[in-house]
Amino acid sequence: MKKETFQSILGFLMIIAFLYGGYKLVVWVVSTIQPQVAATILTGAFTILLTSASILVSRSYESKSKIKEENRLKKIPIYNRFLEFMLGVLASEGDVSTKEVQGFSKEFNHNLLIWGSKDVVKKYGLWRTRLVRNANQPEETKEDPIEGLYEFEQLIIEIRKDLGHKDKNVERGDLLRVFLNDLDDRKKASE
């Protein structure tokens, strides 16, 4: 059994035991103590209970938010370096040496495995596989390069989501047009 599953079950059982104990305490207080005193005790107990619960929930939320923010700060330079390199490759139109690409890939792959979200790792893997497969194809059987660019755009969108952006209204080609002036011309030429 996974550790998280065990902890969830244990936490759930503890909550049930706590609620049952609280119920038994309320029944005992109401049945043995004068009603006015019981009401005062129960009001105080519920106030303390709710205050404690709200403090625990807010601290848990703060802790998760802090960890998420620290991870986000670690990811920013890694993703920034990736985009700088890839945009440099696109701008140079193939004048980047294989050694440079391999050196960058080795460093980026290492960082991505440590800091990247599962969705970014998955999109990167699909995009990278497409690049390698296409690079090893004879010229006449290579895939449409515009589709590779759209897959790259999907990777960028996933990176942006990992950094907290909500790109709900981003349409296909919107991000590519930021750095490709001739996207529509390239699309027409590939059709």
Of 3-12, 82-91, 133-142, 149-158, give the lowest mean pLDDT range: 133-142
Residues 57 and 81 both lie in one domain: no
Residues 98 and 142 both lie in one domain: yes
pLDDT tier at 155, thresholds 50, 70, 90:
very high
Residues 37 and 77 both lie in one domain: no
Better pLDDT: 106 or 12: 106
Better pLDDT: 36 or 144: 36
Lookup: tokens for 88: 């440099």
Instruction: Map residue 79 onto helix, strand or coil.
Output: helix
**What pLDDT is stored for residue 186 in this prediction?**
63
The pTM of the whole model exceeds 0.75: no
Residues 157 and 126 both lie in one domain: yes
Residues 51 and 78 both lie in one domain: no
Distance (Å, rounded) from C-alpha 79 to C-alpha 33? 65
Residues 52 and 92 both lie in one domain: no
Q: Which of 17, 36, 66 delimits the end of a domain?
A: 66
- Report the number of distinct structural domains present in the chain: 2
Whether the Cβ atoms of residue 120 and residue 162 lie closer than 8 Å to each other: yes
The string of pLDDT tens digits covering residues 35-71 is: 788 788 878 888 888 898 889 889 888 988 898 899 9
Instruction: State the number of CA atoms in the 13 A half-sphere of 160 facing the CB.
Output: 12
Of 10-14, 74-78, 144-148, 164-168, give the lowest mean pLDDT range: 144-148
CB environment 166-187: b (16+ within 10 A), e (fewer): eeeeeeeeebbeeebeebeebb
Distance (Å, rounded) from C-alpha 184 to C-alpha 190? 10
Query: Does residue 16 carry a pLDDT above 70?
Result: yes
Domain span at residue 116 reads 72-190
Residues 121 and 163 both lie in one domain: yes
Residues 114 and 158 both lie in one domain: yes
The string of pLDDT tens digits covering residues 19-43 is: 888 888 778 877 888 878 878 887 8
